[in-house]
Homo-oligomer: A and B are copies of this chain.
Amino acid sequence: MRGFIRENFFPFKNKIKVDYLNNILSEDILFSKINYNFAISNISSLSDIRENSIIFLEKELDINKLASKSIHVISSSKENIKYYKSISIVNNLNDAYNKILNYLYFHDDSEKFPDIYNNINGSYISKFSLIDNSCEIGKNCSISRGVQIGKNCIIKNNVVIKNTILGNNVIISDNTSIGTTGFGFDLKKRGSKFLNPQLGIVIIDDDVHIGSSCTIDRAKIDFTYIGKNSMIDNMVHIGHNVIIGDNACIAAQTGISGSVTIGNNVTIGGQVGFAGHIKIGNNVIIAAKSGVTKNLNDNSVVAGFPAIDIKEWKKNIIKQKKNGYQRNSKNITS
């Protein structure tokens, strides 16, 4: 599932060759050299280099595997000119990303996303989706272009699924939205027009249960992923590019910020929050209402905000009590 075909989800609005980037970016472009003027057929991230694609690099970075003739680099760092045969240097990488990708692709934050639906019991199901016959789909859902759903899945009512691949035996409960737009933009340039096109997908592996009123955002370029057998409670928010391993258990109202990576067999209480871009190991347990701000090693058990080892957290609570911060015995029994 991981090697998904972007075009299945985001049809091309325009197909161009590399040299046409100069027209799209016009005066924003500072320098350009083109090794091989291929027809751009994809975008790449550092973790998934695709043939005949463009890739956006912010910082100076020498990546050997980009030496292939069918990758064109777009960068705001002039230093990169020396590493790549085919490169455009731009003023503002974020603006260039937005301009190019809004020119190339349709997505659901741009005008007139092309799709055709069948209406089955109030559920609008794209003719360009692929849903196994064994699945059950409730009322008033919307399943868009490119979505793939494996065997024996149960999609309940008022569920929105777009830009998503579901494995087998997945349950998605009522009023949940999957494959929605990641919250990606330059903080210095706000407004709906400056949203970074989110052209990745969501992949949910076999035997996952997703509760009601959850939101799972699709990735910017690659995929947001939830591993096998994971159990997600109600009102859980999962940001773009989050990777969650197998056998996760995540209680209600927890929110996972963009690009967090979580190992296997984690247990996360309710109302937990995560800072963006951190890494959580395997077999980690995170108590309810924690705010996790740092990476966590395998087998960590943490609580509090900022989240610390749960034994230390408990000691601290006891210490606060000794210092005059006392449970009122009239109020609290257990």
Q: A215 vs B193: C-alpha distance in the bound complex, in angstroms?
A: 22
Known: A142-B158, A192-B207. A334 touches B235 (CB 8 A): no
**Residues of chain B contacted by A180 (CB below 8 angstroms):** 156, 173-174, 211-212, 234
**Residues of chain B contacted by A141 (CB below 8 angstroms):** 140
Q: A255 vs B233: C-alpha distance in the bound complex, in angstroms?
A: 11
A234:B231 contact, CB within 8 angstroms: no
Known: A160-B174, A273-B289. A207 touches B191 (CB 8 A): yes
Interface-centre pick from A170, A275, A325 (highest chain B CB count, 10 A) = A325
B297:A330 contact, CB within 8 angstroms: yes
Say whether A157 faces chain B, with CB atoms less than 8 Å apart.
Answer: yes
- Residue in B111, B117, B170, B309 whose CB lies within 8 Å of A331: B309
Q: Looking at the complex, which of A3-11, A28-36, A76-84, A118-126 is the stretch in contact with chain B?
A: A118-126
Q: A273 vs B291: C-alpha distance in the bound complex, in angstroms?
A: 14
**Residues of chain B contacted by A211 (CB below 8 angstroms):** 180-181, 183, 215
Known: A177-B213, A229-B191. A234 touches B183 (CB 8 A): yes
**Residues of chain B contacted by A300 (CB below 8 angstroms):** 328, 330-332
Q: Range of interface residues on chain A?
A: 35 or more
Q: A328 vs B303: C-alpha distance in the bound complex, in angstroms?
A: 12
A255:B273 contact, CB within 8 angstroms: no
Say whether A112 faces chain B, with CB atoms less than 8 Å apart.
Answer: yes
Quote the shortest CB–CB distance from A83 to chain B (angstroms). Answer: 29
A217:B234 contact, CB within 8 angstroms: yes
Nearest B-chain residue to A234, judged by Cβ: B215
**Residues of chain B contacted by A229 (CB below 8 angstroms):** 190-192
**Residues of chain B contacted by A119 (CB below 8 angstroms):** 121-122
Copy total for this chain: 3
Say whether A271 faces chain B, with CB atoms less than 8 Å apart.
Answer: yes
The interface bits of chain A over 233-271 (1 if a CB of B lies within 8 angstroms of the residue's CB, else 0) are 111010100000001110111010100000000010011
Nearest B-chain residue to A228, judged by Cβ: B191
Q: A191 vs B111: C-alpha distance in the bound complex, in angstroms?
A: 39
The interface bits of chain A over 273-284 (1 if a CB of B lies within 8 angstroms of the residue's CB, else 0) are 101001000000
Q: A333 vs B284: C-alpha distance in the bound complex, in angstroms?
A: 13
Say whether A19 faces chain B, with CB atoms less than 8 Å apart.
Answer: no
A255:B237 contact, CB within 8 angstroms: no
Residue pairs across A and B with Cβ atoms less than 8 A apart, 13 shown, are A142-B157, A171-B192, A181-B211, A190-B247, A212-B215, A213-B235, A235-B235, A251-B257, A255-B271, A273-B289, A294-B332, A294-B333, A316-B323
